[in-house]
Amino acid sequence: MGQARITDPEANPPELRQAINMIYKAAHSAGVEPATLELVHLRASQINGCAPCVDSGAKAMRKNGETDERLFTVAVWRETPYFTEPERAALALSEYATRLADQPDPVPDEVWNEAAKHFDQKQLAAIVLWIATTNFFNRLNAATRTQAPQNW
């Protein structure tokens, strides 16, 4: 694990927080269920091994009423009955969009088309934006060895 590389809370400029808030608002204003966005955030963070994002994501989900069954099984969502079809489509999209280098076609048509059955273009754009934002946070935290529960 190692020691955190940036420990000064003032190291990040206020403009970064403003930009993050704008991205958050954009992703969360497209009509996607908040629980779905939280699920894709948690799944991408699990894949990337981002402890602060997994910690804060799971805590936020629990605070918003998420069940233990769903929280404990996000990593194995395919093997459980706890997720809706739209959530499953979003989770699959999150996995593929996070693991871009794992295959020649990073997000296969079947994955995209399944998501498109459940979400309109604006919602799909928001989900992809939120997946990308999560991956952004994951990389910042991994590079700086940010520890849970500390967050950017």
As a whole-number percent, the residues of the chain with pLDDT over 90 amount to 74
3-state secondary structure of 38: helix
Of 30 and 6, more confident: 30
Question: What pLDDT is attached to residue 14?
Answer: 81
If we measure between CA atoms, which residue out of 45, 38, 28 comes closest to residue 60?
38
* Domains of the chain: residue spans and CATH: 33-144 (1.20.1290.10)
pLDDT of residue 149: 61
What gap in Å lies between CA 77 and CA 69, rounded to an integer? Answer: 10
Question: Distance (Å, rounded) from C-alpha 45 to C-alpha 50?
Answer: 5
Residue given tokens 């805590």 in the structure block: 59
* 34 in Cβ contact with 64 (< 8 Å): yes
Long-range contacts at 112-117 (CB < 8 A, ≥ 24 apart): 114/89, 115/89, 115/90, 117/89
